[in-house]
Chain A
Amino acid sequence: MRVKVRLFARLRDIAGAADLARELPGGATAGTVWNLLAAEHPELAAYRGAVSVAVNAEYARMDARIADGDEVAFLPPVSGG
């Protein structure tokens, strides 16, 4: 299956792209997507305990199951206001 990945702020800078697409095996979770990206960009690994994840623009957990066509967003610690 194919998922759309969105990265923000410093995560986007590290990966060099705001929007990505990745092929994943069935049964993949948000964590599967994260591990894939962290393997591609080792600097991302440092964010493992601090990153938040959203699936289809709703907050989710790393163990959330992903379906074909889902949008998975990884969010570094926030600083709005």
Chain B
Amino acid sequence: MTETERSGARPVVGVGDHVRVRVLNPPGHNRAPSYVRGRNGVVVRAVGDGRFPDEAAAVGADARREAIWTVAFAGTELWGPDAGPRDTVHVDLFETYLERT
């Protein structure tokens, strides 16, 4: 996936896709909760788009817009075998944070 593909002009993931949250630790702002980084989930909903927060924190309203997806994670994927087998956590994530698996 190139940076151009991540520009928000064209969605690179869609509802139903299996995704992994990229492990990113940029020096500035980041809006991917650390407990989902590197974890696998399924895209369940298109939220719409918004200003990419990592960029917006630095440049404000001029930040690029990007698609936001709700990703469902199994509790056991996040917390291990002791998590409730029927529990899920749904997290809204900007597209840059995601890669298809």
Query: Is this pair of chains taken from one and the same complex?
Result: no
